[in-house]
Amino acid sequence: TYLAKERAVAIEAVERASKVCQSVFKRLVAEETLTKNDKSPVTVADFGAQAVVNSILEKHFPQDPIVGEEDSKDLQGDQGRALREKVVELVNTATEAPMSTDEVLRAIDRGQYAGGPKGRHWTLDPIDGTKGFLRGEQFAVCLALIIDGKVRLGVLGCPNLPYEMDKPDGERGVLMVAVEGQGAFQRRLNADSGVSETSIRVADVADTRDAVFCESVESGHTSHGDNANIAKLLNITKPSVRMDSQCKYAAIARGDANIMLRLPSSSTYVEKIWDHGAGNIIISEAGGRVGDINGNPLDFSAGRTLSANGGGVIAASAKIFDAVIQAVQTTLAQKSE
């Protein structure tokens, strides 16, 4: 079947990277008392996860370039030594064969590709949702394959997401996967062999008054005042589901929530392709829609960013998507008056 090998390899890469992140959390975050500004565990996990994913992709698809978020410059030289040693040690807990320091750095630096409209490339966000990660809440490992400017395969690893949203204290760890034309599926992230997949669909919400927002825990990415206005226009009264990272896409894809708004936080900010590639195809294959603030589909052919789009990212169940875009347009027009 179409992209069968790519699908299997991407799942393996995201599973391993998720394990890396979880072991960093157990070792560094839970044990070392962190000051609010100390991002070093995230940095270690970020680099470690990127090295693991990139080395697995290189083994199976040596010709495929990668658009990644990190490069190894903070790990170089004397200044980077302490961090570098932690990263290399971590990577070697998750790989089949041991990797030398140089191999780890080279794997990280495979993520420097510029992207574009032609051929194949992968895009990776090794830890999306750093604040969620540090709180022991939602973060995601996000991997997508772009062919000729379109996302054709996406995998999201959400290590802390409840397998069933109505059982928040139950089993955690969800992996979602979608291939163009084949639907979207979820499986247990931390299960051993013989994992079964179940098909997922967005909730069939026909009226926005029955809809639920999925919003960030903190308001850095999107402006909560605008969200409140949009909610009023759409007659939304149900409480929002709050979580960080691309796990919001996962929540909408399986019907835990119905609308995600990521409004432009400034006129200069341009969205990155690795923040949306996997979530974009998982939502569309689950029967939802994703677009910019003008309702246009996200354009992954313009390089490392979504610069060809009008800004922002909106995801929703298909039947209410147009109504949501209209409310967004009305709210943003009122602001600019």
pLDDT tens digits, the chain, 337 residues: what are they? 999 999 999 999 999 999 999 988 888 766 665 554 566 788 899 999 999 999 999 999 999 999 998 899 999 999 999 999 999 999 999 888 999 999 999 999 999 999 999 999 999 999 999 889 988 899 999 999 999 999 999 999 999 999 998 998 999 999 999 999 999 999 999 776 667 999 999 999 999 999 999 988 876 545 568 888 999 999 999 999 999 999 999 999 999 999 999 998 888 899 999 999 999 999 999 999 999 999 999 999 999 999 999 999 999 999 999 999 999 999 999 887 7
DSSP strands (E only) in 111-183: 120-128, 140-147, 150-162, 172-179
Which is it for strands 241-242 and 213-215: parallel, antiparallel or unpaired? Answer: parallel
Q: What's the confidence (pLDDT) of residue 266?
A: 82
pTM (2 d.p.): 0.95
List residues with catalytic annotation. 46, 130
| Structure-block tokens of residue 284 | 């569309």
Contacts of 88 (CB under 8 A, 6+ apart): 99, 100, 101, 104
Q: Tell me if 144 sits within 8 A of 151, measured CB to CB.
A: yes
Residues β-bridged to residue 176: 156, 186
pLDDT at site 67? 97
Tell me, what's the pLDDT at 195? 78
> Which amino acid would we find at residue 145?
L
Q: For residues 59 and 9, what is the distance between their CA atoms, to the nearest angstrom? A: 10
pLDDT at 38: 63
DSSP annotation of 31 reads T
Q: Rounded to the nearest 5°, which phi and psi values hold at 315?
A: -130, 140
DSSP-derived 3-state class of residue 318: helix
Are the beta carbons of 186 and 172 closer than 8 angstroms?
no
- Which pLDDT does position 193 carry in this prediction? 60
C-alpha to C-alpha distance for 121 and 117, rounded to whole angstroms? 10
Cα(61)–Cα(101) distance, integer angstroms: 22
Distances (CA, A) of 206 to 161, 248, 289, 296, 316: 26, 20, 14, 21, 11
